[in-house]
Amino acid sequence: MERNAIIAGLGIALPPAVEQRDIWDGYFQYQYEGPRRALAKRIFENSGVRSRQAAVSPMLEDVADWSTERRMLRYQVEAMPLGKEAAERAIAEAGLTADQIGLFAVCSCTGYATPGLDILLARDLGMAPGVQRLFVGHMGCYAALPGLGTAADFVVARDRPALLLCAELTSLHLQPPAVRADVQQIVSHALFSDAAAAVVVVPGDVGGYAVKEVAAVTDSTTADYMTWEVTDRGFRMGLSPRVPDVLATHVRGLVDDLLARHGLTIPDIDGWAVHPGGPRILDVVGERLGLDEAALATSRETLAAYGNCSSPTVLLVLDALRRRAVPPRRILMLAFGPGLTLYGTLLEASTVTA
């Protein structure tokens, strides 16, 4: 018999929210002058973001001139309770206790510490001393999908539950005035947000979504199009306007090949969880896959309500899809990030047999 890895629990934790208009009026409009201010305002208004979350709001606490060391210390303070809340919710929904988790994987590219979140949260959640741990850093916005693939492989191989946590605090990486006038930094500051999301994957015959396959393609010729550099003043985003063009080249092939291995085509997918890196990303994916606006509505609404939270974002979209009055039978998750890398994950609703 085929052994399935089933997503049986999903938990989300969010820091305080702020309206996009308020954060522009209350902080960012004062960071630019002349034509650059007008440009920045257009970028903020056209970002597709209506509200987003900030563990460290610049309207209350300006971290732009903080050292990276100071930002990393604050990362631990803010990420620990968010990560714990998301993990506890996912474990509870799966009907498990923390000491039953066999693998605890953490994805985060916005902060580092040793001992890391994996060690400290395993302790605070009450996981067994023998729990296996994995920390995945600097994979960026697509990290949830290789993380989910690793969790699913562990579940199938070991017949034990796994927990994946994605936690990002992009608000800690506000750039100094000399840097943030760059257009790429304006785009980054207009889009990115904070969140934590966790999923529990279990073996066996239970309700949820089975992880059928995780697939990827990387175009290393465009490695400099998306970067995340550690500087003396936090981590600095590099975001080329050519990123959507690379996605346009590769996304159809990735999706068609992945679905074909399961005897499926695009019309067989009734739920699309597309990482909303920005409005143009969703436009390109929709055009190349021939999707109508309804197929991408959940991804666009996630961007509007939460912003781009990096690795947790595609899990926020998944959570919204599964909470529909009639949840999708098959979901295709797509996420993109440094490399440039495209990841796809096929999920299928599991049926419980007596």
Question: Would you give the distance in Å from CA 168 to the centre of its chain?
Answer: 8
Query: How far apart (Å, rounded) are the C-alpha atoms in residues 113 and 10?
Result: 25
CA distances to 69, 312, 323 from 319, in Å: 34, 11, 6
Query: How far apart (Å, rounded) are the C-alpha atoms in residues 135 and 334?
Result: 21
Residue with tokens 């994979």: 139
* Residue of 109, 141, 166, 309 marked active site: 141
- Asked if 141 is an active-site residue, the reply is yes
Question: Would you give the distance in Å from CA 85 to the centre of its chain?
Answer: 17
Tell me which residues are annotated as active site: 141
